[in-house]
Copies of this chain bind each other. A is one copy, B any other.
Amino acid sequence: MTATPSTARQDPPEAGYLRLDQQICFSLNAASRAFGSVYRVLLKDLGLTYPQYLVMLVLWEHGELPVKALGQHLRLDSGTLSPLLKRLEAAGLVRRERSARDERSVRVHLTDEGAALRERALLVPRRIAAATGFGLDEISELRERLDRLTDALDAAATAEGQDGVDPR
C-alpha cells in the first residue's frame, strides 16, 4: 500500500498533463482573484465592487442600455445582473425602467450621481496599470491571447454542450 497514495504505478503522459492543466487554469483563476483584491481596495472609495464597476464602465461608455445588451457586453446573464443592478439602484447610481415600446425590456440608465462618479473612477485605471507592473504593449498582447483563449473555450463549450450532435 505504501504511504504515497498517488503518482505511483504507471502514470503515463497523463500525469504530466494533469500538472500542466492545473497550472494554466489555476494561474488564470489566481490572477483573476489577485486583480479582485487590488480592485477591492481601489473601488472601496467609490462604493463599488468589481463587477459593479464593470457595469458602470459599460454605462459610462454607452449611456443607457437594456439589461439584455448589458449582459452581452459583460457575458453575464440576468441571474447575475438583476440583483447587482438592484444594488446599484439602491445606491442611487442607476435607474431601471420598463421600456414603453416593449414592456419586456428594462432599460438601465445612469442617474446624475452615477454619471458624476465617472470623474472619480478616472483615477482607477492608472493605479491598476501601475499595480500590474506591465507595460502597455505587454498588457495589450496578454489581452489578445486571453480573448483568443476565451473564444476557443466558448466554442468548445457550446460544441461540448450538444456533444456529437452532427446536425447533418
Contact = CB atoms under 8 A, between A and B. Distances in A.
Given A34-B157, A153-B38, A3 B146 contact: no
Interface residues of A, number: 76
Main secondary structure, interface of A, reads: helix
Interface stretch (A84-92, A95-103, A125-133): A125-133
Nearest to A5: B63
A69 interface: no
Interface of A: 3-7, 14-15, 17-35, 37-39, 41-42, 50, 54, 57, 60-61, 63-64, 74-75, 109-110, 115, 118, 121-126, 128-134, 136, 138-140, 142-143, 145-150, 152-154, 156-157, 160-161
